Amino acid sequence: MLPIRCLTKCDAEEDENSQIAVILGGDQRPPCGAKTLLLAPKVKLSSGYEMPILGFGTNKLRGYQCSTAIHYAVETGYRHFDTAYYYENEKDIGEALRTQIKMGNVSRENIFLTTKLWNIHHDPSDVRRICEKQLELLGFNYIDLYLMHFPIGYQHLCDEILKPMKDGKIQT
């Protein structure tokens, strides 16, 4: 079982690596009057980096809705943000996160940013170019976790699938 303790915003900077914090209910407030943060446990990845196990999904977030959602997510303690090339919102996500950094609500070092390579870019010659485009859209110089959105390469498979169809081995 994971250790659980209350973590207030006033002691969050001193204990950013806390295992987990509890959101206080009702009228309860931390002693310093700050809002309570929820900091998720982290898992160590094979690269040695640690990733918060609780992430904030950003699909369909745009504009004002995006900046507001990111603000409240940071305020309540989310540090892992998940976006993707396919969501077409990386620019909005990056702007919202950079705003939170400028406001002093979080540092880049405490954000874990995940984005994904879309299926049509699985050709090895596309990967670096698309990754650099995503970095530019996000406005950051690194991504914490880069995934293949779906680990299948449609682009490579289409021609190969058509060959057995032409030979009559596949009907449809």
Active site (catalytic) residues: 87
82 CB-near residues (< 8 Å, 6+ apart): 55, 56, 57, 58, 114, 115
Question: What torsion do the CA atoms of 28, 18, 70, 75 make, to the nearest 10 degrees?
Answer: 30
> If you count DSSP H runs as helices and E runs as strands, how many of each does the chain have, helices first?
5, 6
Nearest residue to 71 via CA among 36, 39, 41, 97:
97
3 state DSSP class of 55: strand
Q: How far apart are CA 83 and CA 92, in angstroms?
A: 10
Q: How far apart are CA 156 and CA 31, in angstroms?
A: 59
Contacts 24+ apart (CB under 8 A), 160-167: none
